[in-house]
Amino acid sequence: MNYFTKEEKIRFQHIDYAGIVFYPRFLEMLNALVEDWFEEALDRPFHLMHETNGIPTVDLKVQFKSPARLGETITKHLWVKELRNSSMLCGFKFENTQQKTVLEGEVTLVNVKIAHDRNSISSEAFNETMKSKIQPFLQ
């Protein structure tokens, strides 16, 4: 599979009283993975994209498989399961150093156009350039 992959060290800011990652922190890590993918692999950094467009999450399915602990490093993988006109269904998996799955799921992202007054958004088809950059990650 052609994944977009990043590593992340589990820090004190990520954990709860039990010493494991507090579940909302995993969602922040997922969002960071998506943001890095857009900037590093798709050449569409959020700080430029969000001037006129966005890529909000409209559906999210997550399964927590195993705890991640302070000091561990996890490897985060992202790929595209379905590329549609203005949205895509992505798969993701976070693994620990023993390749044990910590977290996995699916996220649906929609390409949107933001009105100049910032009061409305509407879906917008991916252009051919963007589709060609996403295509290598399609499984």
pTM of the model: 0.94
Find out whether 133 and 90 touch, Cβ atoms under 8 Å.
no
* Beta-strand runs (E) in the chain: 4-9, 53-54, 57-64, 73-83, 87-95, 101-110, 112-114, 121-123
Rg (CA), the chain: 16
Tell me the pLDDT tens digit for each residue of 34-91. Answer: 999 999 999 999 999 988 899 999 999 999 999 999 999 999 999 999 999 999 999 9
The residue with tokens 């699916």 is: 106
The residue with tokens 């890095």 is: 36
